[in-house]
Structure 1
């Protein structure tokens, strides 16, 4: 079983086609680095950064904004004052940077996130990314006697590795679960249910009180596939998820997946979903939830920061694991999906590859990680970096979720390996499911058919999860 203690990609549907087009473009691989700058290696400069080499950083300007990156750049500038840093931020990562990959002139560091993220499958298959193994084995900034890899939370290296190469640093740590307002629940005398029967019973009570039990984003309906897969993993074990990651035949038709899908389909059948949610994007549905128009929402731990401008004082948001489907669940109630997110890459053809790796090494220091957490209310991949910090109620709840899981957190990788499978196929099928246009069984069949198509497509690079 994967043992993770670990912001989901704030991704929508826009720009997917552009991102996917990368697979058909020749980008060049890591056999050439476009004249990569290199300086003298020393104890203070273990990666051999050329001290006056310019560094270009491009940040996805999403739920985390860009100010945290400016703080990280200031730390880099403090170590290399002769280096000019070019900073830019955009929500259109693929549209902005794909042509530069094709031209062999990419930036040195990219936060490859968002709805217009460049498809990792294309980047990996064409050798467009620097192998960051040297970064992992470099001494950490905080403790030269400890390697960078030894400062990372469990699972961070796994989720950033492809074919045995560590190619991306998923900087944020995201916990996924079911969110609710403790203020509302305390006022109503409600308790979060630990079982699915308890969830359905509470939904009836909530609906009778004139509040929609659940809301969701119909535009990004895949958000509702997350609790389905989480519940399936808890019911059937992590092997259910690994089969899905490995595109195995009938993986999506496993009894545990069917049972979980049928359970969440009941929310639609019994009228527990907020009317109109099928037309909402993630911000709209989250705002409805913050306004108290719905009791539950499925989301990742970036939620608190993304909604900070509209969350009422004292709302006291909290996250909880998906309820257990039955007494035969193989994983405990406290198990949840936790994973690294906000993927940072160093293009192989960047002009300052070593500066790019050094920038990531600085990001992975406790000072940089603590600053990130303080600014954007998200944990990072760095072990212990949030210790002693004053956290908001949502993030405090996340830390309690992690502690209560006692190491039983897990994740899936199919959405990283085969981005379009989740962003397009699972997303579309999930909207059909929660608008009752297909049944839970048909949802499983439809997604499995899509997974089979990916498995049989020779143009799609395949990955094996052990």
Structure 2
């Protein structure tokens, strides 16, 4: 006999006595259990008729294999996915809907959103430290696609982008309204938003006052003169805190109209002699004329973009250069009788088509993304005609996918439908294309000089010399 001490459920010791005979029996049972549990499985013995398996059995096996493969592929699209997107005039309702749909499609993915009007500054340290989010929508103050490419922060998408298709099977790269930015033939982003800077005015106010809607620089100056005299206001306003609004909204179309895509590319890349060329000087002399005639708001230097837009809505000014996001961004402050009117910025010569330069807002994937497979799945997921139509509904702007009929969508604002028709009429508008956005290293010093010119502290000749020096310094650092 031997004694075993165990505890009952209350923790009390209970003694049990067993004979060695029972111990032997228990040991034998445990040995059998262990042997059976460790034995390898043997395939079932089949009769001669089913040797090699029936057709039904093969189909089931194939289906199980395909299911396993699908689950394996879906298993790759999992984990945490960080997305950074700027929230400005377009709002965030479109993003919320797309992200919700993506999470429903990929339930094993947990999306972490980094969003807001100051998100570019808030996330800057993470990019610098090499710990970026996986996907980034490049837009808003403090962001520069070209700078990110130059700093090696974005993934090269050239080969992968060729695999992306829209829901109808057409290649995405063949379905853009405007082509992606190209850096020596390489793609580092895909253009999500087709926006364009232009000049806005109040159609109802113009009709009431009998003011002519300008179609070129001469009529632009004439109308501003009439408004200044009749309304006792400085007709033109922009933001001095963000001078690139004027650079992109007024000067890029002017450069395109004056020298085509070649001149536009040269000023953006800082090519030698571009900023002191005769065409650029003539454009800047027109800007000087606007200032000398008192048409530019003398207090613009202190205004941010929302303050300048508010002044415009209150008829403190008559013209403002902004993109398609303006009505959506200012929807809560727009007077009931205000009727948005949009024209390409009238910096062209009389008799020439007005000029448009698309301003694309891209999606990109970080070079050091923690979850690149989920990031690619999200970018692929976003580019559909369905989401393109929804984008116009949510934002009042256009997604960069062709073949989307906005006129059939009653939820798209009328000004956008009219602007879309105008932009696609070659008799009215000529579209020019920039190779990629200007680097912040070049745009910043040129913008500073531009403010001085528009305040009357610098002549056009002095400005182009200052800009040429900035371009030379930029080239030396490349």
What is the TM-score normalised by the length of structure 1? 0.80
Instruction: Confirm whether residue 147 of structure 1 aligns to residue 171 of structure 2.
Output: yes
Moved more, 223-232 or 67-76: 223-232
Distance 1:132 1:287 in 2: 40
DSSP 3-state at the match of 1:274: coil
- Choose from 220, 234, 239 the match for 1:212: 234
Q: What does residue range 401-440 of structure 1 map to in structure 2 within 5 Å?
A: 401-405=422-426, 408-413=430-435, 416-422=437-443, 424-440=444-460
Instruction: Confirm whether residue 129 of structure 1 aligns to residue 158 of structure 2.
Output: no
Bigger radius of gyration among the two? 2
**Equivalent residue, structure 2, for 1:20:** none
- Choose from 228, 231, 235 the match for 2:258: 235
- Choose from 326, 343, 349 the match for 1:320: 343
DSSP 3-state at the match of 2:310: helix
1:99–1:270 CA distance, 2 compared to 1 (3 A): closer
CA apart distance, 1:425: 1.1
**Equivalent residue, structure 2, for 1:443:** 463
- Choose from 178, 183, 186 the match for 1:165: 186
Distance 2:348 2:131 in 1: 51
Distance 1:178 1:70 in 2: 30
What is the TM-score normalised by the length of structure 2? 0.78
Distance 2:152 2:419 in 1: 36
Distance 1:237 1:89 in 2: 37
**Equivalent residue, structure 1, for 2:199:** 178
CA apart distance, 1:447: 1.0
- Choose from 92, 112, 124 the match for 1:66: 92
Distance 1:201 1:266 in 2: 12
CA apart distance, 1:320: 1.2
**1:48-79 alpha-carbon deviations (Å, 9 max, x no partner):** 77233332212212222322212111221232
CA apart distance, 1:111: 1.7
Q: What does residue range 172-321 of structure 1 map to in structure 2 within 5 Å?
A: 172-210=193-231, 211-226=233-248, 227-321=250-344
Moved more, 222-231 or 278-287: 222-231
Distance 1:126 1:217 in 2: 28
Return 5+ residue gaps in structure 1 as ranges: 1-39, 461-466
CA RMSD of aligned residues (A): 2.7
Alignment check: 8 A CA contact 1:175 1:398 kept: no
Count of aligned residue pairs for this structure pair? 408
**1:191-216 alpha-carbon deviations (Å, 9 max, x no partner):** 21223222222222111112332112
Distance 2:69 2:200 in 1: 46
Return 5+ residue gaps in structure 2 as ranges: 1-65
**1:62-102 alpha-carbon deviations (Å, 9 max, x no partner):** 22232221211122123212222222313344443343345
**1:308-341 alpha-carbon deviations (Å, 9 max, x no partner):** 11111242212212335435x8xx3233112312
